[in-house]
Amino acid sequence: MNSSQSGRASERGARPCKARYPVLFVRLLALVVAVALAVPGLAPASPVTLRTAWLSEYEAFAAWYAHERKWDVENGVSLECDVFPTGKNLVDNMRRSGCVIGACGGAAAVFGILGGQVSVIGVAADETAANAVYVRPDSPLLKLKGENPGYPELYGGAAAMQGKTVLAPVGTSAHQLLYFWLERLGTSDAESIVIDTKPEEALKAFTGGMGDAVVLWAPDTYKADALGLRRLVSGRECGITQPILLVADRTFAEANPAQVEAFMKAYLRAVDAILAMPKDELVPLYRRFMETFSGQPVSEAVARGDLDTHRFLSADEQRKLFRSRAEGGLLHFWIEDVIRFHEATGALSRRQVRELERTPFVTSRFLERAAAQ
């Protein structure tokens, strides 16, 4: 039985196997350990505490599971996880809180890259299907489809969105979805009324009669589904990809590459285990994660929804994304989409965009080393 199999057996309630050794061997082993602890330099090194930053959602699942299985400790680090309410808050407060590695959407990561604070070291997950525009069941937008021949599955229309009110958290991945949706329709958010609203507040306001559409992310999307709202469009229909990025404090990573590599080894091991796990085992494990890590007990249906609309990427998939533009690496283009969105909405100036164009914002160094071992 390999380590992942034994862990799953333990989660199902089976007792772990206990090896039996002769009494003399046990006494000799105890003596060796005692000597090692007593002699300086022979005692096993304690794992280095590594403070990491997360939102209370899917991408933290792999970090939590790696720590549960002690795969972080096996690599010489012990993960501490700080939780932040938004990606922007996470990036703004990473250094202040002592966190050296984190995960957030590209919309937030760009500002950490701009300040020279962080580098992108991995892709935690794909949340393209987790962000969506919702309307009420009687919305006329549901009757409009395929106005742009390049996006035949896209609902909505340019004229129909003129002057319409949309509730969305401005500057986030949800806002990025809104921007590209309207662009694909042949209009822009400048021709609509966008009210900056947090998703949980936006959903409440929308069901109370405010606005013509609302942009949400999971788990508020599941609440919207349960309330009978209609999902109009996600990033998939718009032809965009919205990754959750793993970022590292640039100064720390340059000074402590072994610790960043240790994190990546543990995280990728957890990702592989999760990707290989049958859904019937994965769902209860994910529910336990949500309750213990996020403090948010979720139903089986919500857990399955989260697992269906998010996806971890294996080390091999990530390595392909990190290739150069000439070699077909898509990560650069995904981040450039985010930069274009921020420039178009006024969050980035032309000078800042030029600065970002000169900045080497991704590094595959830690991913390559971790995946090779």
Predicted confidence (pLDDT) per residue in 326-338, tens digit = 898 999 999 999 9
Residue 31 counted as domain residue: yes
Q: Are residues 234 and 247 in the same domain?
A: no
Least confident of 11-15, 261-265, 281-285: 11-15
pLDDT, mean of residues 39-55: 76
Check: CB of residue 361 under 8 Å from CB of residue 255: no
In a domain, 45, yes or no: no
Residue 361: which of 163, 193, 110 has the closest Cα? Answer: 110
Residue 111 has pLDDT above 50, yes or no: yes
CB under 8 A, 24+ apart: contacts of 272-275: 272/314, 272/315, 273/4, 273/7, 273/65, 273/69, 274/61, 274/62, 274/65, 274/312, 275/312, 275/314
In single-letter form, the type of residue at position 219 comes to: P
Domain boundary among 238, 256, 276: 238
**Given pLDDT bands bounded at 50, 70 and 90, which one contains residue 296?**
confident
- How many domains does the chain fold into? 3
Residue 97 — very low, low, confident or very high, per pLDDT cuts 50/70/90?
A: very high
Residue 198 binned pLDDT confidence (cut-offs 50, 70, 90): confident
Same domain, yes or no: 263 and 330: yes
At residue 218 the predicted structure's pLDDT band, cuts being 50, 70 and 90, is confident
- CB burial of residue 138 (10 Å; 0-12, 13-18, 19+): exposed
User: Which tens digit of pLDDT belongs to each residue from 77-87?
Assistant: 999 999 998 88
Q: Which residue has the higher pLDDT, 9 or 290?
A: 290
Backbone CA torsion sign across 83, 253, 127, 235: positive
How many beta carbons lie within 10 A of that of residue 64, not counting itself? Answer: 21
In a domain, 342, yes or no: no
Q: What's the rounded mean pLDDT across residues 175-193?
A: 94
Residue percentage of the chain with pLDDT more than 90: 78
User: Buried (b) or exposed (e) across 88-123, using 16+ Cβ within 10 A?
Assistant: bebbbebbeeebbbbbbbbbbbbbbbbeebbbbbbb
What residue type is 90 in one-letter code? L
Average pLDDT over residues 151-165: 95
- The percentage of the chain sitting over the pLDDT mark of 70, rounded to a whole number, equals 88
Is 140 buried (19+), middle (13-18) or exposed (0-12) by CB count in 10 A? exposed
- The CA-atom distances, in angstroms, between 142 and each of 41, 166, 232, 323, 326 are 69, 15, 7, 39, 40
| Nearest one of 205, 145, 209 to 181, comparing CA atoms | 145
Confidence at residue 326, expressed as pLDDT on a 0 to 100 scale: 86
Would you state the pLDDT for residue 266? 98
Q: What is the pLDDT of residues 346-356, one digit of tens each?
A: 999 999 999 99
Asked if the structure places residue 341 within a domain, the reply is no
Domain boundary among 238, 271, 301: 238
The answer on 214 and 66 residing in a single domain is no
Task: Answer whether residue 344 is part of any domain.
Answer: no
Q: How many CA atoms lie within 13 A of 68 on its CB side?
A: 20
- At 118, list the tokens: 């962080």
- 271 and 301 both lie in a single domain: yes
Q: Is residue 248 scored above 90 in pLDDT?
A: yes
Report the alpha-carbon angle 288-85-319, nearest 5.
Answer: 75
Please indicate, yes or no, whether residues 296 and 332 belong to a single structural domain of this protein.
yes
116 shares its domain with 264: yes
Among residues 90, 162, 128, the alpha carbon closest in space to that of 337 is found at 128
User: Is residue 44 one of the residues assigned to a domain?
Assistant: no
- pLDDT bracket for residue 37 (50, 70, 90): very low
Residues 95 and 192 in one domain: no
Task: Write down the pLDDT at residue 31.
Answer: 45
Q: Same domain for 107 and 250?
A: yes
- Angle at Cα 234 formed by Cα 229 and Cα 235, nearest 5°? 165
pLDDT at residue 68 above 80? yes
- How far apart are the C-alpha atoms of 29 and 16, rounded to whole Å? 21
The stretch 126-130 carries a mean pLDDT of: 92
Q: Is 250 helix (H, G, I), strand (E, B) or coil?
A: helix
pLDDT at 126 over 50: yes
Rounded to whole angstroms, how far apart are CA atoms 241 and 129? 9
- 14-38 mean pLDDT: 37
Residue 13 domain boundaries: 3-38
Q: Are residues 231 and 151 in the same domain?
A: yes
The helix (run of H) or strand (run of E) holding residue 48 is strand 48-54
| Closest alpha carbon to 197 in 218, 180, 172, 179 | 172
End-to-end CA distance of the chain: 21
pLDDT at position 246, please?
98
Q: Are residues 259 and 119 in the same domain?
A: yes
Query: What average pLDDT does this structure show over 64-72?
Result: 97
Q: Is the pLDDT of residue 231 over 70?
A: yes
Do 199 and 153 lie in one domain? The reply is yes
Lowest average pLDDT, out of 14-18, 75-79, 107-111, 139-143, goes to 14-18
Same domain, 254 and 357: yes
Please check whether residue 145 lies inside any domain of the structure: yes
Of residues 36 and 316, which shows the higher confidence score?
A: 316
Q: What residues are paired with 167 via a beta bridge?
A: 195, 214
Asked if the structure places residue 98 within a domain, the reply is yes
Question: Do residues 326 and 313 touch, judged by C-beta distance below 8 A?
Answer: no
Cβ–Cβ < 8 Å for 221, 214: no
Q: For helices 300-309 and 279-292, what crossing angle results, to 10°?
A: 100
What CATH number corresponds to the domain at position 324?
A: 3.40.190.10
